[in-house]
Structures are given as C-alpha cells and as structure tokens.
Amino acid sequence: MKPLFLLSHCLLNNYSKVEPFANRNKELVQVLLQFEAGVIQLPCPEFSYLGGKRWGMVKEQYDSSGFRNHCQKLLKPVLDQLGDYMKVDDYVVYYLGIKGSPSCGVINTCSNESYSGEIEGKCFAETKIVESQGVFIEELLALNNSYGIKINLLEVDEDNIESTIKEVKNILIE
C-alpha cells in the first residue's frame, strides 16, 4: 500500500498563515519529497474565506454555518479526487494537520469561550489550546462518512517539527 498525504495548505505555502504564526516546514516537505510520497495540498479555508489580512481567531469564531459550508465546498472536490485515487491503487491516506489551528487542528485547537482571538501577535488571556479538532477537520471527517475512505490523522507540532518528521519517516520506511 502506498502512502498518500493530505497536507494542510500552510505546510507548503507559508504565506497563507496569519503573519505572527508563519513558520517554515521545509524539513518535513523535504522528507516527503525525498521518499517520493504522494501529496495533495488542501486549500486553506481561513485564507480563502477571510483573505490574508486577517487576525488570529479561535475555533468558536469559525464555528458558524457560513464557514462550515465554505469548508464543505472546498473539501468535496478533494474527497472526489481521493475516491478516484482509491479506484486506481491501494493507498493509505494520512492527513497532516496543524496543532492549535482553529481550522486544521487534528487533536488540539485554540479556543476561547468569550470568542476572543489574537491581534498583532498578542493572545487574549482566555485563549488556550484545548483537546478538540478544528472546524475544517470536523467537516472533512463528516463529509468523508459518505465516501468511507480511511484517513489517518497526524498532528504537526510546529514547535517540535522533529517529532512529526520522525513519525512521517516511520510511515514512509514501512
């Protein structure tokens, strides 16, 4: 079985992130290229919804029917494409999401029950990382129920990228 990686958009395109959080994930991308892994870059729901001049927001701010509908429109073609891949060969699908992202967090997302996010790199005191999936991931998994594709979720901790690289290498070596 061949590994096929769905990547959060910002793993390949650093410019889609809210500026203070822009981080380069060059080493992770180099590992995927070195092992000639299949890669599909997902669209960035935050950038395509609010553009590049947005501030950092929390899950509660994105948790709206408008944003969820936007995510579904972005994800349906991706899942159609994945379905086509599965008809051609046996792939093991992995999604690489971003720790703390209100959209692409796989295990952890940022949250603030008072709906406050971050402005100019300053987080409000109530904003915290909680164990929950981001809105985009929730919609990916919900839509995928009708496709039935097994998607393994991996969380990229950009503050500890080495652990993600090790995990991805182990997948690619198998």
Question: Domain limits at 117?
Answer: 2-173
Confidence at residue 167, expressed as pLDDT on a 0 to 100 scale: 95
Confidence at residue 88, expressed as pLDDT on a 0 to 100 scale: 94
Confidence at residue 127, expressed as pLDDT on a 0 to 100 scale: 81
- The pTM (predicted TM-score) of the whole model is 0.89
Q: pLDDT under 70 in the chain at which residues?
A: 19-24, 115-125
Q: Which residues contact 28 (CB under 8 A, 6 or more apart)?
A: 11, 96, 156, 161, 164, 165, 168
Cα 105 to chain centroid distance, Å, stands at 6
Confidence at residue 25, expressed as pLDDT on a 0 to 100 scale: 77
Which two tokens mark 41? 């870059």
Confidence at residue 99, expressed as pLDDT on a 0 to 100 scale: 93
Confidence at residue 72, expressed as pLDDT on a 0 to 100 scale: 98
Confidence at residue 46, expressed as pLDDT on a 0 to 100 scale: 94
Confidence at residue 23, expressed as pLDDT on a 0 to 100 scale: 61
Alpha carbon distance 84, 129 (integer Å): 36
Alpha carbon distance 9, 14 (integer Å): 8
Confidence at residue 21, expressed as pLDDT on a 0 to 100 scale: 52
Question: What's the number of domains the chain is made of?
Answer: 1
In terms of C-beta distances under 8 Å and separation of at least 24 residues, what long-range contacts does 29-34 make, across chains too?
31/165, 31/168, 31/169, 31/172, 32/5, 32/168, 32/172
Sign of CA dihedral 24, 99, 92, 166: positive
